[in-house]
Amino acid sequence: MQGIQGKNVLVTGGSSGIGQAIAIRFGIEGANVAINYRKGLEAAQETEAAIQEGVDRCMNEIRDAGSKTMLVQADVSKPDEVNRMVDEVLAEFGGLDILINNAGFQIAGDSEEISLESFQRVLATNLTGAFQTAQRAIQHFLAEDKPGVIINVSSVHQRIPKPRFLSYAVSKGGMQNLTTTLALEYAGRKIRVNGIGPGATITPINRAWVDDPEKSAEVVKHIPMGRAATSEEMAAVTVFMCSDEAAYITGQTLFVDGGLTLYPDFRTAWSSE
């Protein structure tokens, strides 16, 4: 895709699932990719190897451009670690062009019972971590007076309520305003801020249903397109949104959800006839 080759990209939570697929796709497109991981160095190294493999396999013609990868450990819920993560990327790559705020997790529980600590823990990673990393990236873009792109990996639950996952839904709702407000604030400074809103995607976060045929069938029943997404489908849209092909798009969240946000219950009229 146009405008990706040679760019320096940081993907948070890049050692598994959607983040891993995004990191690999950027590598295949010729970008230098910093893979942030909180733990599980082994998976992070696998991602790095897969990027290299992808580059080897698909990018012979741009090999001379020399895609680079690096691993950077940090818990994005911890301000000091976010600062160190960004500093390490700047030191290694000499700059940053694209930030993918992907790290996220969820905790289930009835809302009348969840602890304040668990609520804040989800917000600290999914929303505050994304804000702080975006802030550091924007400071860098402004200091260098260069264009920058930020993608917030949100969720259909930015729009659709999620009972028993209140902190997750609140974090993704907050992400919508993180995206739109930053987009508006920096639109005149060559910085684009967008989101993607994945629907049900086959990744480790969905262990609870992915490996259970009955539960999987129940999930798929609710999806108008009749199947869950792959991480690669999320990666393709993410890289497009960062490319020059999307140069005029800012402040948008693109839902990549097989129709989940289209009120699937209304597939057939049930209240008018």
Catalytic residues: 168
Which of the ranges 23-31, 45-53, 193-201, 241-249 carries the binding residues for ligand NAD, by CB under 6 A?
193-201
Question: How far from the centroid of its chain's Cα atoms is residue 65's Cα?
Answer: 26
From 84, 105, 147, 223, residue interacting with ligand NAD (rule: CB under 6 A)? 105
Using the minimum distance from each CB to ligand NAD, give the nearer residue, 5 or 73. 73
Q: Smaller CB distance to ligand NAD: residue 8 or 15?
A: 15
Site for ligand NAD in 65-94 (CB under 6 A): 75-77
Give the C-alpha separation, 196 to 229, whole Å: 13
Q: How far is the CB of 201 from ligand NAD (least distance, A)?
A: 4
Contacts with ligand NAD: how many residues (CB under 6 A)?
A: 27
Under 8 Å between Cβ of 234 and 18: yes
Order of strands across the sheet with 8-11?
A: 69-73, 32-37, 8-11, 98-101, 148-153, 191-198, 253-256
| One of 8, 67, 69, 102 touching ligand NAD (CB under 6 A) | 102
**Shortest Cβ 120–ligand NAD spacing (Å):** 13
Please report, as residue ranges, which positions from 132 to 171 form the binding site for ligand NAD (by CB under 6 A): 153, 155
The single-letter DSSP state of residue 125 is I
Site for ligand NAD in 197-256 (CB under 6 A): 198, 200-201, 203-206
Beta pairing partners, 100: 11, 151
The 19-58 site mask, x for binding ligand NAD (CB under 6 A), equals: x----------------x-x--------------------
Alpha-carbon torsion angle 169, 172, 174, 175, nearest 10: 180
Nearest residue (CB) to ligand NAD, 17 versus 54: 17
For residue 54, give the amino acid letter.
G
E-only strand ranges, the chain: 8-11, 32-37, 69-73, 98-101, 148-153, 191-198, 253-256
Q: Is 201 or 250 the residue whose CB approaches ligand NAD more closely? A: 201
Among 4, 9, 11, 18, binds ligand NAD (CB under 6 A): 18
**Binding letters toward ligand NAD, positions 167-186, x by CB under 6 A:** --------------------
Q: What are 39's two structure tokens?
A: 């733990």
**Helix ranges (DSSP H) in 68-201:** 79-93, 116-123, 130-144, 166-186
Rg (CA), the chain: 18
Stretch that binds ligand NAD, among 8-16, 24-32, 51-59, 112-120 (CB under 6 A): 8-16
Cβ closest to ligand NAD, residue 194 vs residue 203: 203
Q: How far apart are CA 94 and CA 174, in angstroms?
A: 31
Tell me the residue length of the chain: 273
Question: Which residues contact ligand NAD by CB under 6 A?
Answer: 12-13, 15-19, 36, 38, 75-77, 102-105, 125, 129, 153, 155, 198, 200-201, 203-206
